[in-house]
């Protein structure tokens, strides 16, 4: 199978009262995204959502610039294309970290479909069921987090992760305490302040989380703050988690893993270079007896690829989804295969589910 072309759609959908509307509707949260389609000379194609950053149209033009790299190449040359992209990107491409992931994913999907295997079995299955946790958006007050945590627990999810508002550390800790008090001692909780702290603040924050029996402490400082993160990890008992926004996985992670800068690394199909990037990162961590917890890719078609990856590696505990889950539940026909907090990757070839092309067509702002 040789590649014929790369088609990119710049899309925008509007979330209104829990449902995703289409272009032109008012109100709600506007979601911009890309849809990549790789076509082959023999008539096959594979499509996947992509992150859009600050501008779907701007990101679409950047992604389209990679078409000459792809045309005429064999679909099965994933590793060669991975390295050729790295070289091209270094020679003044300098594309956003989310550009290559959907292309690499489409290459894997084309190959898995041709082999008539679901993606996770084509990679090499490790399991066929994955617990799911939900992560909050930035909410306002303790009662908002408490209400969401209780609803997440009631829905059967395995855990809940807080993205605290970050206005004041004492206020954040009170929110974490209120959620722990509400859900009880046995429900798994995590915290992700998203890179807001100094080292002394993170130490105090982490010790408070230890007292509240939180399971992990994620990205308290920027992922690039290597010396500070290493010292934080050394002093705290609660596992420190990071690396999701470091560019150039897995190479940027090698020293982080080898020197225990964090206890757990992060990777995902969107920001870490597609299926190939996640596998490289996860296998690097595995060699050091470290987990690679797969980070949300936001859009549910990408989350389904993340699920296949969760099922194909041993050193990942959960699939992560953003909450409210319904706000992001678009792009797939039939929704994610989750029941009672357990995700089961589909057994049909490739991705295993169809994209919602009616929504994509109606959300498309421009095609390249």
pLDDT over 90 at 26, yes or no = no
Where in the chain are the domains?
Answer: 3-116+358-367, 122-343
Secondary structure in 3-state letters for the chain: CEEEEEEEEEEEEEEECCEEECCCCCCCEEEEEEEEEEEECCCCEEEEEECCCCCHHHHHHHHHCCHHHHCCCECCCHHHHHHHHHHHHHHHHCCCCCCCHHHHHHHHHHHHHHCCCEHHHHHCCCCCCEEEEEEEEECCCHHHHHHHHHHHHHCCCCEEEEECCCCCHHHHHHHHHHHHHHHCCCCEEEECCCCCCCHHHHHHHHHHHHHCCCCCEECCCCCCCHHHHHHHHHHCCCCEEECCCCCCCCHHHHHHHHCCCCCEEEECCCCCCHHHHHHHHHHHHHHCCCCEEECCCCCHHHHHHHHHHHCCCCCCCCEEEECCHHHHCCCECCCCCEECCEECCCCCCECCCCECHHHHHHHEEEEC
pLDDT at 22: 43
pLDDT at 10 over 50: yes
pLDDT on residue 17: 43
Share of the chain above pLDDT 90, in %: 93
- Checking if the pLDDT of 191 tops 80, the result is yes
- What is the per-residue pLDDT for 146? 98
**The pLDDT of residue 27:** 40
Q: What is the pLDDT of residue 287?
A: 98
Q: Rounded to two decimals, what is the model's pTM?
A: 0.95
What is residue 226's predicted lDDT score, i.e. its pLDDT? 97
Residue 196 — very low, low, confident or very high, per pLDDT cuts 50/70/90?
A: confident
pLDDT of residue 29: 63
For 104-115, the pLDDT digits (tens) are 999 999 999 999
Could you check whether 3-116+358-367 and 122-343 share the same CATH topology? no
Report the pLDDT value the prediction gives residue 24, as an integer from 0 to 100.
40
Does residue 47 carry a pLDDT above 90?
Answer: yes
* pLDDT per position as a tens digit, 73-102: 999 999 999 999 999 999 999 999 999 999
For the chain, the average pLDDT equals 95
CATH match for 122-343 among 3.20.20.140, 3.20.20.120, 3.30.565.10, 3.30.530.20: 3.20.20.120
State the pLDDT at residue 217.
98
Rounded mean pLDDT, 222-240: 98
Q: Indicate the pLDDT class of residue 15, thresholds 50, 70 and 90.
A: low
pLDDT beyond 80 at 30: no
Q: What is the mean pLDDT of residues 10-18?
A: 70
In 3D space, the residue among 8, 5, 58, 1 whose CA is nearest the CA of residue 367 turns out to be 8
At 277-330, the pLDDT tens digits run 999 999 999 999 999 999 999 999 999 999 999 999 999 999 999 999 998 999
Q: What is the pLDDT of residue 255?
A: 97
Which of 25-34, 259-268, 283-292, 307-316 comes out lowest in average pLDDT?
25-34
* Architecture, CATH, for domain 3-116+358-367: 2-Layer Sandwich (3.30)
Supply the pLDDT for residue 13. Answer: 84
Q: Is 90 exceeded by the pLDDT of residue 333?
A: yes
Residue 266: band (very low, low, confident or very high) from pLDDT cuts 50, 70, 90: very high
Residues 137-166 have a mean pLDDT of 97
């Amino acid at each position: 199978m040789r590649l014929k072309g790369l088609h990119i759609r710049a899309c925008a959908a509007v979330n209104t009262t829990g449902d995703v509307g289409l272009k032109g509707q008012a109100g709600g949260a506007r979601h911009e995204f890309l849809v990549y389609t790789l076509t082959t000379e023999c008539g096959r194609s594979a499509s996947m959502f992509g992150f859009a950053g600050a501008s779907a149209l701007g990101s679409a033009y950047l992604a389209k610039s990679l078409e000459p790299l792809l045309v005429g190449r064999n679909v099965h040359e994933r590793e060669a294309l991975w390295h050729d992209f790295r070289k091209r990107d270094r020679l003044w491409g300098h594309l956003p970290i989310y550009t290559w992931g959907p292309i690499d994913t489409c290459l894997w999907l084309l190959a898995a479909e041709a082999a008539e295997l679901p993606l996770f079995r084509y990679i090499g299955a490790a399991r066929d069921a994955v617990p799911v946790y939900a992560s909050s958006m930035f909410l306002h007050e303790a009662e908002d987090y408490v209400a969401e945590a209780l609803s997440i627990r009631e829905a059967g999810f395995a855990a809940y992760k807080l993205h605290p508002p970050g206005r004041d550390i004492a206020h954040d800790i009170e929110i974490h305490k209120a959620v722990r008090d509400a859900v009880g001692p046995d429900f798994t909780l995590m915290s992700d302040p998203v890179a807001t702290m100094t080292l002394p603040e993170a130490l105090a924050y982490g010790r408070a989380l230890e007292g509240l029996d939180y399971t992990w402490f994620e990205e308290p400082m920027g992922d690039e703050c290597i010396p500070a993160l290493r010292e934080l990890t050394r002093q705290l008992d609660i596992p420190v988690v990071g690396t999701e926004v470091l560019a150039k996985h897995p190479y940027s992670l090698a020293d982080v893993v080898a020197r225990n800068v964090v206890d757990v690394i992060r990777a995902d199909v969107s920001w870490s270079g597609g299926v190939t990037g996640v596998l490289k990162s996860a296998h690097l961590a595995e060699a050091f007896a470290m987990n690679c917890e797969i980070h949300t890719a936001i859009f549910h078609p990408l989350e389904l690829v993340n699920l296949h990856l969760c099922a194909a590696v041993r050193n990942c505990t959960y699939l992560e989804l953003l909450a409210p889950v319904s706000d992001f539940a678009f792009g797939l026909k039939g929704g994610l295969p989750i029941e009672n907090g357990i995700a089961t990757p589909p057994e049909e070839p490739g991705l295993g589910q169809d994209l919602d092309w009616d929504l994509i067509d109606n959300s498309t702002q421009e095609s390249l």
